[in-house]
Structure 1
Amino acid sequence: MGEKPFIVIWESTRACPLACLHCRARAVPDRDPRELDTQAAKDLIDQIAAFGRPAPLFVITGGDPFQRPDLLELIAYGTLSGVRVAVSPSGTPTLTAQNLTAVHEAGAVGLSLSLDGSTAELHDGFRGVPGVYRWTLDAWDTARRLGMKVQINTTVARHNLDDLPEIAALVRKHGVMLWSAFFLVPTGRGRQLAALSPEETEDVLNFVYDVGLSIPAKTTEAHHFRRVTLQRAVLASKGEDHVDALRLGPLYRRLRARAEELGLTTGERRARRPPLDVNAGRGFVFVSHTGTVHPSGFLPLGAGNVRTRPLTEIYRESELFTGLRDAERLGGRCGRCEFRRVCGGSRSRAHAVTGDPYAEEPWCGYQPGSFPYQSELAHLLAAATPGTG
């Protein structure tokens, strides 16, 4: 992870017709004249290719990337450059079968869509525009028919906590490469939304682990999911009841009961490996619409600009990126935690809440050293930590 990121996300534009309640980008109707133009965007793709093969996955997002008339040209250029390209559009009327077919034929390997409710009322209410739910489902089915890999992202927020099992059931019905539960970072418009408690976060993380038996599931900005997967593996090997051992609460019990009713907790675990050890600046890069490089789209600290400094150099050498890859710099409970090298907490949320990207994870209630079976855990931690197993 110190030499090459796993994924580079480019905010191709902030133009978007939606008004999502949690929007990081504070999206606006019109494009910004300061955006990277076509040639600058191709230069960015060249910089990504310079990391070497296999190149990082390049995700074109926004705003709504369909607002850029050069989108297909850039996808094709990336594909010819040996860079795998995926597109993360907004749920708008631009998600037509014609546009998705063109994106696929240009070379895009995947599509990332957002689904924040199992009904139009819940999803459209969160996204601020009626019709988004239907456009999203239609695009999802179209992309699957085209043979594209589809990732569905769900923002975990108060409006949909008890709807998560229904969303997971919808994911299973339509089929995905991956379902990602995104835990809100209070940036942009998201500052106005109520935070989850650490206890509620723990309940949802364990629910996501449970439904991994029926759908491939992961989390975004909830890096302590890696801790949960290791804890659950140890407890299962010991025949321990995870509900009691982890002191899970009423939200988990409700989610688990509904998941069982929907048949989401049976089968073989779909994940082929533990969740990737990717965090802000550690395997992850975000490039803004103007070319500024950030460790994450939710961590608004810049480390340079691709117009004036190569992305390879920024990622490998900038103080911000190298610092975020150093687990010894973490503060508070994160700095003392035995899971710090496989989790590290959300650096984006730590910064959003405290102003310090190295502070402890605000939505984690785990007390370092409190998990039983430390010797068994140490063996799994060694195997899960690069360079130690």
Structure 2
Amino acid sequence: MIWESTRACPLACLHCRAEAVPDRDPRELDTEAPKDLMHQVAAFGQPAPLFVITGGDPFQRPDLLDLISYGREAGVRVAVSPSGTPTLTTDRLRAVHEAGAVGLSLSLDGSTPALHDGFRGVPGVYRWTLGAWDTARALGMKVQINTTVTQHNLHDLPDVVRLVHTHAAMLWSAFFLVPTGRGAALGALTAEQTEDVLNFVYDVGLAVPAKTTEAHHFRRVALQRRILADRGEDHERALRLGPLYRELRDRAAELGLDTGERRVRRPPLDVNAGRGFVFVSHTGTVHPSGFLPLGAGNVWERPLAEIYRTSELFTGLRDADRLAGRCGACEFRQVCGGSRSRAYGLTGDPYAEEPWCGYLPGSFPHQRELAELLAGLTTRNCDGDRSVPPRDAS
């Protein structure tokens, strides 16, 4: 459960969903409203969904520590997803930790100051982010690093993963841009580039805990790779991966990300807009995702659990039979479903096919093995991802 605590933020990120501004909106929920919202989240049942405070920059709210502390009383786990600004001081991070935050989510969109600061629109953000990251780790906090994948950093991804490995993040999330807000002006990835990056993320999942956000076809890739590995087949040839994949894989090898201690790969979770994920705006409007700007009600007027469980928008998004185009015909539709946010952003239809997926339904060569594997999966509406969703996925 993502709560957009404010749209105020001192950064000017090129992809910003919220099109954040320097000053707080007078319509923001006051201190008592988010406390009530926490109780509404707890009403989903135990274990309660993770309550993520995002923005804008949550540090622009003077009641942030009070709200984090209140989470314990309400019976919910609270995480914070701040902007990389000078507000991330050691004292403030210690206060957030002592107030009871279970995790911190930070964005790193390049392995160098030039790449990251250029994307975030303010000099110094790279340095502040790495400083906050190391400070939070020293305090004993779990840190998730989120990287927005766009044309600007495609070739830099292995170097970002090296930083994630070196600084020991709990999780790395590759967030695939959704063209909404300021992000509508950024260049799109091709379906072929997306496929190459998804397979790269799968590979480095043995070196760092890795996941994707708004790239739900990562679940398809994981199943394909599992079957191909069991059969001893070359995935690069079988999946017809392109030169970008080879470049990313070779660079990861140069950085030593394919050697040393190997970890168990983190399985991708079955979470999508409105399916294990809900977003509440700074004014209380409920959306399936911060990147899917269709409202299903307001927490001032209806309980959050009721909106999530019964609204036509949310129940429709959980019905794979409503998917159109290739997504509707795809054998992976129950475990993938594509990015409903990206489909809406590019077509105006939240049920349209995933624009950044090039998979042709039925083209995977081992359909019998796939059918057996899919039959063995238990598909369900996830009650909460134990990771900290990226602030950009809010």
Report TM bin, short chain: over 0.9
The 3-state SS of whatever aligns with 1:283 is coil
Match of 1:268 in 2: 262
Match among 198, 205, 208 for residue 205 of structure 1: 198
**Which residue pairs with 1:318 in the alignment?**
311
Q: Pairwise mapping of residues 15-34 of structure 1 onto structure 2 (< 5 A)? A: 15-34=8-27
Deviation by residue 1:307-343 (Cα, 9 ceiling, x = unmatched): 1100010000000000000000000000000000000
Shift of 1:223: 0.2
2:271 alignment partner in structure 1: 278
1:86-125 matched pairs, under 5 angstroms: 86-125=79-118
Does the alignment pair 1:361 with 2:378?
Answer: no
Choose from 51, 72, 77 the match for 2:65. 72
Partner of 2:242: 249
1:167 to 157, 160, 165: 160
Amino acid at match of 1:83: V
**Deviation per residue, 1:240-276 (Å, 9 max, x gap):** 111110000011110010011112124434334x211
Query: In the alignment, which residue of structure 2 is the partner of 1:181?
Result: 174
Higher alpha-carbon deviation: 293-302 or 142-151: 142-151
Partner in structure 2 of residue 236 of structure 1:
229
Cα displacement (A) at 1:382: 1.9
The Cα of 1:385 is off from its aligned counterpart by 3.8
Is the aligned partner of 1:295 residue 2:288?
Answer: yes
Q: 1:307 matched to which residue of 2?
A: 300
Q: Does 1:128 align with 2:121?
A: yes
2:218: which partner in 1? 225
Q: 1:37 maps to which residue?
A: 30
- Please, which runs of 5 or more residues in structure 2 have no aligned partner? 381-394
- The one-letter code matched in structure 1 to 2:65 is L
Secondary structure, counterpart of 2:172 in structure 1: strand
- Give the fraction of aligned pairs with identical amino acids, expressed as a percent: 80
Q: Does 1:56 align with 2:45?
A: no
User: Cα deviation per residue 1:41-85 (whole Å; 9 max; x = unaligned)?
Assistant: 111111001111100001000000000000000000012221000
Matched residues in 1 for 2:120 and 2:136: separation?
21
Q: Distance in 2 between matches of 1:184 and 1:28?
A: 20
C-alpha distance after superposition, 1:213-234 (max 9, x if no partner): 1000000000000000000000
State the match for 2:390 in structure 1: none
Matched, 1:81 2:74: yes
After the TM superposition, which residues 132-147 of structure 1 pair with which residues of structure 2 at under 5 Å, given as runs?
A: 132-147=125-140
Structure 2: distance between partners of 1:103 and 1:384: 38
What's the TM-score once normalised by structure 1's chain length?
0.96
- SS in structure 2 opposite 1:284? coil
Q: CA RMSD in A?
A: 0.9
Change (3 A) 1:259 1:275: same
Deviation at 1:383, TM superposition (A): 2.5
- Give the deviation of 1:138 after TM superposition: 0.5
Partner SS state of residue 104, structure 2: strand
> Residues of 2 paired with 1:9 and 1:383: CA distance?
31
Aligned-partner Cα distance in 1 for 2:40–2:171:
27
Aligned mates of 2:161, 2:144 — CA distance in 1: 13
Preserved CA contact (<8 Å) 1:224 1:345: yes
> Kindly tell me: are residues 97 and 24 of structure 1, through their superposed partners in 2, closer, same or farther at Cα, counting changes over 3 Å?
same
Residue type at the aligned position of 1:88: S
Give the Cα–Cα distance (whole angstroms) in 1 for the partners of residues 378 and 23 of structure 2.
44
Residue 386 of structure 2: aligned partner: none
> Which amino acid in structure 2 is aligned with residue 38 of structure 1?
T
- Structure 2 residue corresponding to 1:344, chosen from 337, 346, 353: 337
**CA shift for structure 1 position 380:** 1.7
The one-letter amino acid of 2:264's match is: R
Which residue identity does 2:63 align to in structure 1?
D
Once residues 343 and 384 of structure 1 are traced to their aligned partners in structure 2, the CA distance between those partners, rounded to angstroms, is: 12
Residue pair 1:215, 1:270 contacting (<8 A) in 2 also: no
Q: Is the 8 A contact 1:342 1:385 kept in 2?
A: no
Q: Which amino acid aligns with 1:251?
A: L
Q: Which letter maps to 1:101?
A: R
Partners of 1:127 and 1:90 in 2: how far apart? 10
Equivalent-residue separation in structure 1 for 2:89 and 2:367 (angstroms): 52
**Cα displacement (A) at 1:202:** 0.2
